[in-house]
Amino acid sequence: MTDGSQRLAERADALRNAFDRSFAAPRRIDQAPMADFLAIRAGAQACALQFAEIGGLYSDRKITRVPGAAQRLLGLAGFRGAIMPVYSLAAILDAPTSDTPHWLVVASGAPVAFAFEAFEFHLRVPRTAIAPREAGARASDYVREFVRAPDTVRPIVNLAAILDAIRSETADPASRMER
């Protein structure tokens, strides 16, 4: 074996051993726990959605209007063989809007989709960058926390709370509030 090929074989052995040892080493716990969000715009409102509450992200789906539906309900759309109601996230958050929503997220907790105007970026932050809403702070009923993003502090929209409100409205149509 030549000197060059022996060095190459030794280097390959060293890399293989390092790779194998990496599986035997304990997991590093010195890293801060991270949280993942989608940074979006619902109407003119910059906000964030937690990855854990999202079952899918789609763009430019055809939404079929439903006659007599509440203003927040944009209509119905198909997602992988399932027909789901599509709600306007801007209308739910009482955010002013002039655009047609081009983006939709399907909630992971129920067969419901939410439409919004712009998907801006993926946001991964340490959990320490998340702050709870202060008592008495003026914010939507669907915002309980805020996240510091590179561009601004964004409210985190709680899709589970919105789903609970939708379920209670559909269970008792007399309590439905037109928004």
What is the rounded average pLDDT for all residues in the chain? Answer: 85
pLDDT in tens, 139-170: 578 999 999 988 889 999 999 999 998 888 87
Token duo for residue 174: 């007399």
Contact 113, 86 (CB under 8 A): yes
pLDDT for 179 beyond 50 = no
pLDDT band at 135 (very low <50, low <70, confident <90, very high): low
Work out the average pLDDT over 70-96: 90
Please state, in angstroms and as integers, the Cα–Cα distance from residue 169 to each residue in 68, 107, 108, 152, following that order.
Answer: 15, 17, 19, 33
Q: What is the pTM of this model?
A: 0.76
Indicate the CATH number for domain 34-175. 2.40.50.180
In 3D space, the residue among 88, 89, 66, 90 whose CA is nearest the CA of residue 76 turns out to be: 66
Instruction: Give pLDDT tens digits for 7-52.
Output: 888 888 888 888 888 777 777 666 778 999 999 999 888 999 999 9
Domain boundaries, the chain: 34-175
